[in-house]
Amino acid sequence: MNAPRTIAEYLEQLRAALRGADPALIQDALYDAEEHLRAELAEQPSRSEAQMLEHVVGSYGAPDEVAEIYRDQEIKIQRALRPPPPPKRRSLAGRFFGVAADPRTYGALFYMLLALATGIFYFTWAVTGLSLSVGLSVLIIGLPFIVLFFGSVRVLSLVEGRIVEAMLGMRMPRRPVYPTTGMTLMQRIGSMFTDVHTWTTLCYMWLMLPLGIVYFTLAVTLLSVSVAFIGAPLAMLLHNDWLPGLYVDHQVTVNWGFGAHVPGWGDAIAMCVIGIVLLFTTLHLARALGRLHGHVAKHMLVPRAAD
């Protein structure tokens, strides 16, 4: 690898050295490097970029050294910030019920409930912003509005990244893409539109409404049905005289497929068992959906490294 002569070259080499690493890590590493290099350049404006970089390779590190440091750090972050993996359970029952001990499960479950609120907000923001942008584009205030709106989309993309990382455990960028320098204002605005990342983020914001509704409905329905089933013996135990009063024909009946009858203790216990199985199945579903959604978020919110 020959020595980089411009900042762009240095970043290109760093990106190449980090190839294959987590896109979120690459974005952070490039941001840090660019900030440092530009600060170094601004410190002594008389030096040329090539001279500055010669010095920087010694102090900050050559691209491949920096790449190695960041890979190392990433392993440490994973080890330090992630909760310890739950012990591997061998037995089928252990694996089925072990889901309750996994903190990821509850993070995912909470995310499913939250997704309705954030989904409505993102959708409203994206649709309102987009239609106002188009509508106002014939007026003089259209341009600043569009720029503000697209800027807000980038900020929301980072915010959602933080939520996804905290709750679903998917590594997301902590820093935005470094603002490109050396472009005129118009070029900068133009790049906002040509950037695929902006559009995938908008798609994600739009998609979050249907997804949020599905997640929320699934979580609430499955949880309440399983809790109600588990509580069946309790309802038997407390008193079953007032119970029929709740029904129009004053009779509670159960039908397992062999004809309806008034439920007894056997039915209540059976419902309780079904409820427990359903509850743990729900937890499994939440964890799986959380993992899936983490991947969706990563693909749509983190810009692909331009190879």
Partner 1 sequence: MDDSASQLKKFQKELSSGTVSLVLLGVLAQSRQPLYGYQIAKRLEGAEGVLAGKQSALYPVLRNLEGAGLLASEVEPSVSGPPRRYYRITKPGREVLREWVAAWNATRDAVDNVLQGGVS
The nearest distance, CB 140 to partner 1, in angstroms, is 25
User: Out of 8, 41, 163, 254, which residue is the one contacting partner 1 (CB under 8 A)?
Assistant: 41
- According to the binding rule CB under 8 A, does residue 33 interact with partner 1? yes
Distance from the Cα of residue 43 to its chain's centroid: 38
* Closest among 298, 302, 306, 299 to 15, alpha carbons compared: 306
- According to the binding rule CB under 8 A, does residue 60 interact with partner 1? yes
Which region, judged by CB under 8 A, interacts with partner 1, from 39-47, 102-110, 129-137, 142-150? 39-47
CB 133 within 8 A of CB 118: no
Tokens 């929301």 locate to 156
Query: What is the C-alpha separation between 291 and 167, in angstroms, rounded?
Result: 10
The nearest distance, CB 55 to partner 1, in angstroms, is 11
- According to the binding rule CB under 8 A, does residue 43 interact with partner 1? yes
- According to the binding rule CB under 8 A, does residue 83 interact with partner 1? no
The nearest distance, CB 57 to partner 1, in angstroms, is 10
- According to the binding rule CB under 8 A, does residue 22 interact with partner 1? no
- According to the binding rule CB under 8 A, does residue 69 interact with partner 1? yes
The DSSP bridge partners found for residue 261 are 254
Triad 53, 57, 63: Cα angle to 5°:
100
- According to the binding rule CB under 8 A, does residue 59 interact with partner 1? yes
Query: What is the C-alpha separation between 127 and 205, in angstroms, rounded?
Result: 9
- According to the binding rule CB under 8 A, does residue 185 interact with partner 1? no
CA distances from 86 to 101, 170, 279 (A): 7, 17, 19
How many residues form the binding site for partner 1 (CB under 8 A)?
Answer: 31
Query: What is the C-alpha separation between 245 and 167, in angstroms, rounded?
Result: 43
- According to the binding rule CB under 8 A, does residue 35 interact with partner 1? yes
Q: Contact positions toward partner 1, by CB under 8 A?
A: 28, 32-36, 38-43, 59-61, 65-66, 69-70, 72-74, 76-77, 80-81, 174-175, 178-179, 181
